[in-house]
């Protein structure tokens, strides 16, 4: 089905897919599937999810200040809105549409928020169902389309190999931060924790046999 299908159809398909997966798992574990049954359709009130998200972060007087937005979304609000605007203008999946009943589908903010928070925290789509009002399989679809859109729209500028000028700029920044000659991430540097509590030693010990802390 094309990405322009209504969200009501997506939600109905989601229920069907989940049921098929459940039956398959039962057949593997128990040797026979459960009796086929139709799941109840969940009316998620997606308009409520959009309004809550808008009031919390994007209206003129949001509930949460910019510093909390930066911490939770791992980016500034201006960058977030730039991404949402570009994607919603150029990628059909993220354009809000009306169903045959006249209801608005999921908003670009809801879809992008689901994808970005899944990337930022590594959590499942179910985590945001109650807040954003979209099901798990819909959240995964948002993530798949979001990553494809980022590569398509921003890949040439931000996902390319660094040039000589880029490398020199990074080296200069490293010098200022007292990391001379450093290119790339330093989060893989493990420092020995000499005073590590005995009870914690096991969970902080890796191949070296000594407890370490990631810098």
pLDDT tens column, 143-153: 999 999 999 99
- Report the pLDDT value the prediction gives residue 1, as an integer from 0 to 100: 46
Nearest to 24 by CA among 15, 34, 10: 34
Rounded to the nearest integer, the mean pLDDT of the chain is 81
Residue 172 confidence class, pLDDT cut points 50, 70, 90? very high
User: Are 59 and 94 in a shared domain?
Assistant: yes
User: Are 99 and 19 in a shared domain?
Assistant: yes
Percent of the chain with pLDDT over 70: 78
- Report the pLDDT value the prediction gives residue 201, as an integer from 0 to 100: 85
For the chain, how far is it from start to end, CA to CA, in angstroms? 47
User: Are 67 and 115 in a shared domain?
Assistant: yes
The residue from 112, 139, 158 where one domain ends is 158
Residue-range definition of the domain harbouring residue 145: 7-158
User: Are 207 and 151 in a shared domain?
Assistant: no
Residues 6+ apart with CB under 8 A from 151: 159
Residue 61 confidence class, pLDDT cut points 50, 70, 90? very high
Q: Per-residue pLDDT tens for 88-103? A: 999 999 998 887 777 7
Q: Which of 21-25, 96-100, 183-187 has the lowest mean pLDDT?
A: 21-25
Q: Rounded CA gap, 139 and 169, in Å?
A: 38
When pLDDT is averaged across residues 122-132 and rounded to a whole number, the result is: 84
User: Are 11 and 100 in a shared domain?
Assistant: yes
Q: Rounded CA gap, 52 and 61, in Å?
A: 13
Give the residue with greater pLDDT, 162 vs 83: 83
Statement: residue 157 has pLDDT above 80? yes
When pLDDT is averaged across residues 163-189 and rounded to a whole number, the result is: 81
- Report the pLDDT value the prediction gives residue 28, as an integer from 0 to 100: 57
2 assigned to some structural domain: no
The residue from 141, 158, 175 where one domain ends is 158
Contact (CB, 8 A) for 129 and 135: yes
Residues in the chain: 215
Count how many domains the chain has: 2
This prediction's pTM: 0.62
Own/partner pairs, 127-133, CB within 8 angstroms, 24+ separation: 129/44, 131/49, 131/52, 131/53, 132/49, 132/53, 133/44, 133/45, 133/46, 133/48, 133/49, 133/50, 133/106
Residue 29 confidence class, pLDDT cut points 50, 70, 90? low
């Amino acid at each position: 089905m094309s990405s322009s299908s209504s969200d009501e159809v997506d939600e109905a398909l989601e229920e069907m897919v989940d049921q098929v997966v459940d039956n398959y798992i039962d057949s593997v574990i128990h040797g026979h599937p459960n009796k086929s049954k139709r799941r109840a359709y969940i009316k998620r009130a997606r308009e409520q999810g959009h309004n809550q998200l808008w009031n919390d972060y994007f209206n003129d007087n949001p509930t949460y200040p910019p510093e909390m937005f930066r911490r939770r979304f791992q980016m500034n609000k201006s960058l977030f809105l730039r991404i949402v605007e570009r994607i919603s203008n150029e990628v059909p999946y993220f354009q809000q549409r009306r169903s045959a009943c006249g209801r608005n589908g999921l908003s670009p903010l809801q879809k992008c928020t689901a994808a970005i928070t899944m990337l930022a925290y590594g959590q499942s789509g179910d985590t945001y169902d109650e807040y954003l009002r979209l099901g798990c399989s819909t959240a995964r679809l948002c993530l798949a389309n979001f990553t494809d859109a980022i590569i398509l729209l921003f890949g040439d500028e931000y996902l390319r190999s660094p040039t000589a000028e880029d490398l020199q700029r990074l080296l200069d920044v490293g010098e200022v931060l007292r990391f001379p000659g450093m290119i790339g991430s330093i989060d893989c540097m493990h420092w020995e924790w000499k005073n590590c509590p005995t009870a914690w030693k096991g969970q902080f010990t890796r191949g070296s046999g000594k407890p370490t802390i990631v810098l």
